Structure 1
Amino acid sequence: MTHPSQSGNGVSDVSAVSTHFSSSLISTTPTASAMLASAKLVARRLATAAKFTNKTGSLDRATLTIKDGPVFSGYSFGANKNVSGEAVFTTSLVGYPESMTDPSYKGQILCFTQPLIGNYGVPSSSKKDVYNLLQYMESPTVQCAGVVVADVALEYSHWTAVESLQQWCQRSGVAAITGVDTRQLVSYLREQGSSLAKITIGEEYDADEDAAFDDPGAVNLVQKVTTKAPFHIACPPEFSKGYHVAVLDCGAKENILRCLVQRGASLTVFPYDYPIHKVASKFDGVFISNGPGDPTHCLETTHNLKQTMDQFKDLPIFGICLGHQLLALASGATTVKLKYGNRAHNIPALDLVTGKCHITSQNHGYAVDAATLPAEWEPYFTNLNDLSNEGMIHKSQPIFSVQFHPEAKGGPQDTGFLFDKFFANIAHYRNTNGLNLHAIDNSLLVDILPQQRVL
């Protein structure tokens, strides 16, 4: 598919450059092949610079500025506004709609290392599935503060797409910049660590040099993405096994909720700081979701989780991502901020129980310090790239958690069995304790609670 930037004035000269190198370097040495590849890259960059247009004409100039670091010039294809946040990167090849709507990216400027982003467009942001959950997106809104790409596809082709990435960013009020040397940017972030950054719209010399670099890590981001009131997701009768799970919403992805409902459970989803220990006896299990930012901002949540673990020794509990970190803090362990985080769909994690290696989807900037785990806990998974902790399991209670995302969306589904493990614990809990006569009637909850997240 021809890129819109590869037509119009100035491209014929660029094509000639590429053709000249192609004809003179055919069947030559590896060095010459490298020169040819370099020439083609230059040609593509020049083509982009020569004519970068949308339906209303040329795209506006934009600048990505790293605090105390490099400045990158490019073109704006998103909302016409300046933003700041923490610059992070993902090496995922696909799944940009899912990543951009993942609440874990709240407050961050997300750089995609995949060179071309947007070629399969954006699917419906409102279509629901049989469980009344968003079919394609991970939350109702775009969560990241801004987007950085090397090259954006202004045209798209996919049977589920309803709009382009450009249209979606503009409609959602999200700043986005293209034409950035993302390899240089990522190299800097890997060397210096995740950094504060800002995207400004306009000619470089017009950029607001005095604009502050907002630090999203200084505030409680979970408070911004959690549901504002409890809501209920009823499992369809044809799938239901009669289970009822309490979910602490720290920024839960839709597919995490889907993975729970698919296994036969109705869900009551609570705000992240809800005193879950006061109602835990009414449920068959407790789940703590993913979410953004520093886990130490959620001290009330960790207090409530500690109360729950102390009072209900047999209650199954499962946490993912931030949920893993919060359980660790509740147990007495500590967390650390990673240099540049782990954000990819292909990170190997070693199961320390079975000795098997699984490829996992990850998105986190903090990790649990395994050396601080209390005696009653043991590490469950280890990251084989940086040896950071990827999970923990209680030695005597049915409680475990993982740092990665077994629900994927996007990414591999190698570790989906962890949801099955959670429900095996629930089945054992039900069989051991019998039907909980004090449980909340599911039909009553359907009548009195909202059926979707309260924003």
Structure 2
Amino acid sequence: MTKLLTGATGVLALADGTILQGIGVGATGTALGEVVFNTAMTGYQEILTDPSYMSQILAFTFPHVGNTGVNLEDVEQIGGGAETSARGAIFRDLPTDPANWRAELPGGGDLDGWMKRRGVVGLSGVDTRALTARIRDGGAPHAVIAHDPDGKFDLEALVARAKAWTGLVGLDLAKDASTLQSFDWDEGLWDWPEGYARVDAFGKSVVVIDYGVKRNILRALASTGAKITVVPATTSAEEVLARNPDGIVLSNGPGDPAATGVYAVPEILKLVDSGKPLFGICLGHQMLALALGAKTIKMDQGHHGANHPVKDLTTGKVEIVSMNHGFTVDRDSLPDAVVETHVSLFDGTNCGIALKDRPVFSVQHHPEASPGPTDSLYLFDRFRDLMGPRG
């Protein structure tokens, strides 16, 4: 078994017995999950609070993290903590002290302190380039991340725990990431210098089915002028349609789409059959594809970052987007009634579909740009237009 270096207060124990060690950051204790790398250069707070990262440990490829601090505005999940978002974080260097006017939070606006309060276990001083190459070549490993200020670790037990974990395949995590009760949303996109402002709804009504929705998706929808109502993941199609919405959104979220689809796909199919405009995002995209007769598969390392090139096949334009997914729609399984609308220029995987004869479409990436570029915000306008003239 690996011998710990003097001064090591954090470790990452992989299921194959590999031990990475360094300096512990954030919360003490341990966390279990799948290790993935994220290539974004900004937005670490949005990334760490994205519910789609539930049961995952994030390795940031950008080496310098922490300089913008943390704040109340950049939290993406509606509620909960590390249990329903990223479980751990891995950095090349120790997080730096904040040097940004937005770094303001009760208890302090520094990343390390925020991670402690939130319960995110961190590890710094790791060769993240080597770890990224390992994930790229061998897939996302199962691991336990641990932080002990005294440097006392039972490495054999940590490895055994990682090895025993069955992984994300077959896991329905959306129920835990979802809201427990319905609520309305009226906050719009961030606008200098006011920040996030309330939006007076003057257009259509939209029901968002929450499988782990991000706040900025709701903000982008509200900024189109729509009246937004968010409902739990287990809400039936009958309950959704009883609200008589002008459009329906299937949100992003964590876990295996086939597992969540056991209860969600039959309801999604009813919503498709209703003729209402429907917009799916990430997990919502995958489950819409399942409802239409396609298949989903687990990716080796997934797509995680804010600099992924995607081509919109309906316009021929290339956009740079934010992505966070470990499953993908098998493009070869798409039925004849479905047209592929977007494709990844990294590996050719499917990134968007639409029904030929109904106002239904979805994308794999995160068009709300939080974090990331705003190239895909037009998709919210496309969805608004499908709902018809503003009321």
Counterpart secondary structure, 1:327: helix
Counterpart secondary structure, 1:185: helix
> Superposition pairs for residues 366-381 of structure 1, below 5 Å?
366-381=327-342
Counterpart secondary structure, 1:93: coil
For 1:168, the equivalent position in structure 2 comes to: 114
Cα distance change on mapping 1:69 and 1:191 into 2, 3 Å? farther
For 1:294, the equivalent position in structure 2 comes to: 256
Overall identity of the aligned pairs, in %: 38
For 2:18, the equivalent position in structure 1 comes to: 70
Say if 1:216 and 1:293, in contact at 8 Å, map to a contact too.
no
Say if 2:8 and 2:21, in contact at 8 Å, map to a contact too.
no
Counterpart secondary structure, 2:387: helix
Superposed CA RMSD? 2.0
For 1:79, the equivalent position in structure 2 comes to: 27
TM-aligned CA deviation for residue 427 of structure 1: 1.7
Counterpart secondary structure, 1:240: coil
For 1:131, the equivalent position in structure 2 comes to: none
Cα distance change on mapping 1:384 and 1:200 into 2, 3 Å? same
For 2:225, the equivalent position in structure 1 comes to: 264
More helix by share: 1
Counterpart secondary structure, 1:190: helix
For 1:138, the equivalent position in structure 2 comes to: 76
For 2:272, the equivalent position in structure 1 comes to: 309
Counterpart among 147, 151, 159 of residue 89 in structure 2: 147
Say if 1:86 and 1:215, in contact at 8 Å, map to a contact too.
no
For 2:281, the equivalent position in structure 1 comes to: 320
Alpha-carbon separation, structure 2, partners of 1:237 and 1:97 = 22
Counterpart secondary structure, 2:101: coil
Alpha-carbon separation, structure 1, partners of 2:250 and 2:214 = 11
Alpha-carbon separation, structure 2, partners of 1:69 and 1:413 = 41
In the alignment, is residue 329 of structure 1 matched against residue 267 of structure 2?
Answer: no
Counterpart among 22, 34, 38 of residue 90 in structure 1: 38
Cα distance change on mapping 1:385 and 1:329 into 2, 3 Å? same
Letter in structure 1 aligned against 2:184: H
TM-aligned CA deviation for residue 93 of structure 1: 0.5
For 2:192, the equivalent position in structure 1 comes to: none
Say if 1:85 and 1:215, in contact at 8 Å, map to a contact too.
no
Q: After superposition, what is the alpha-carbon deviation per residue over 1:396-433, rounded to whole angstroms, capped at 9, x for unaligned? A: 100000001111111011111110000001125x7xxx
For 2:191, the equivalent position in structure 1 comes to: none
Letter in structure 2 aligned against 1:247: V
Task: Give ranges in structure 2 of 5+ residues lacking alignment.
Answer: 188-196
Cα distance change on mapping 1:238 and 1:288 into 2, 3 Å? closer
For 1:102, the equivalent position in structure 2 comes to: 50
In the alignment, is residue 201 of structure 1 matched against residue 135 of structure 2?
Answer: no
More strand by share: 2
TM-aligned CA deviation for residue 69 of structure 1: 5.1
- Larger RCO: 1 or 2 (CA < 8 Å, sep 6+): 2
Q: After superposition, what is the alpha-carbon deviation per residue over 1:281-316, rounded to whole angstroms, capped at 9, x for unaligned? A: 511000000001110111211110111212x12x10
Counterpart secondary structure, 1:324: helix
Please say which of residues 276-285 and 159-168 is displaced more in the overlay.
276-285
Say if 2:186 and 2:199, in contact at 8 Å, map to a contact too.
no
For 1:231, the equivalent position in structure 2 comes to: 183
Could you state the TM-score of these two structures normalised by the residue count of structure 2? 0.88
Q: After superposition, what is the alpha-carbon deviation per residue over 1:255-293, rounded to whole angstroms, capped at 9, x for unaligned? A: 000001111111111111210244325110000000011
Bigger radius of gyration among the two: 1
Cα distance change on mapping 1:407 and 1:209 into 2, 3 Å? same
TM-aligned CA deviation for residue 219 of structure 1: 2.7
Counterpart secondary structure, 2:156: coil
How many residues were matched structurally? 362
TM-aligned CA deviation for residue 344 of structure 1: 1.2
Alpha-carbon separation, structure 1, partners of 2:198 and 2:257 = 37
Alpha-carbon separation, structure 2, partners of 1:245 and 1:238 = 14
TM-aligned CA deviation for residue 106 of structure 1: 0.7
Task: Give ranges in structure 1 of 5+ residues lacking alignment.
Answer: 1-48, 51-58, 125-134, 436-455
Alpha-carbon separation, structure 1, partners of 2:180 and 2:102 = 31
For 1:30, the equivalent position in structure 2 comes to: none
In the alignment, is residue 346 of structure 1 matched against residue 298 of structure 2?
Answer: no
Alpha-carbon separation, structure 1, partners of 2:17 and 2:39 = 21
